[in-house]
Structures are given as C-alpha cells and as structure tokens.
Structure 1
C-alpha cells in the first residue's frame, strides 16, 4: 500500500469517500460537488489514491440514458483504515479545525 500526501484537498475527497455506501456510491461529479473542488483537483487525487491502493474503481453497469457511464470509487479495507487514521491524526494536530472542540480546559 503506497503512501499518500494528505493535503486538505485530499482529505476533503477522502471524507466524501468515507460517507459513500454501496447503495449511494461516490463518482467524480458527486465528489467534486460534495468536496467543493474542481475536477482538475479531484481526478488527480483519485488517480493517486488508486495507484496507492486506497480505492478501487468500477464502471457503471446497465442503462444510463442521456449521460456517459459513471466511474464509481470505493475505499478498500486498508484504504478506509488509513483514511480514518489520517483524519484522526489531522484532528489531533488541529483541534477544532474539523468541528471537533478541544478537550479539557
């Protein structure tokens, strides 16, 4: 499993991937919209995550009239573990940054 440079934009993409489910999978445009990022930022991140083994991709099956087939992205088991660890580490370094209030006084 390759290492990934965890920039804030990469973490935004990972956050969308963590919230996707088999019934509501993540695809490029959805990731762009939910992360608030352009395709020129999102697709290179997805490519790096694919090469590192953090995610898998698959083409949409069946009919999809009026639009091209979507490519769905899903975290692998190890990718999900790494993603959660990365978000926890970032939250610990920057308390309150991700909406987590600092503990103690």
Structure 2
C-alpha cells in the first residue's frame, strides 16, 4: 500500500466550502481502481486546516498522478491554500487492509 498523509492549510475565507468545492476530486479519486481509501479530516482546533489520508494499491500511484482529475486538482487546489501542503508518503509493500489495534481491544 502507498500510504499518504497530506496537511492542507486553507485560506480562512475558503475553509467552510473547501470540501464541497473539491468534492469532484474526492469522488473521482475514490472511484479509481487503485484507490483503497481517500478521507478528509478537519483539525478540531483550526477549521482551516485539513488532513487528507490516502491509501493506494502498490501500483496505483502512477494512474492517480496521471489522471485528469489529479491534474485539475494541481491547478485548482493551490488557489484555496495559504501555503504549500506538507506530506508524508510511504510504501508498505503488499499491505491493502487495516489491522485491528491490539492496545484498544474490544471484547
């Protein structure tokens, strides 16, 4: 699995509508054959900061980055931002599912 976390700092005047405005990108990415998950989260202490948690099959990144919707996102999403997003991108070979957390086990 390719696991990606991206932190977006959105202009305050765009924060309320940001996820709706880019809903086309979320929907198109979730529909990709190589996508495992694509989830947005809002920082509870700062409604203008968003975290995107993405998972793709090991061979799914090239198709994603080459897609028309990704290219559109590269042009449009920066217009909502106050700075370049920060990213953590890692490969976990062969991983495609979530594991159960042993420390918070529910019996």
| TM-score under structure 1 length normalisation | 0.30
Answer 1 or 2: which has greater helix percent. Answer: 1
Q: Give the structure with the higher percent strand.
A: 2
Q: Which is bigger in relative contact order (C-alpha 8 A, separation at least 6)? A: 2
Compute the TM-score of the two structures, normalised by the length of structure 2.
0.30
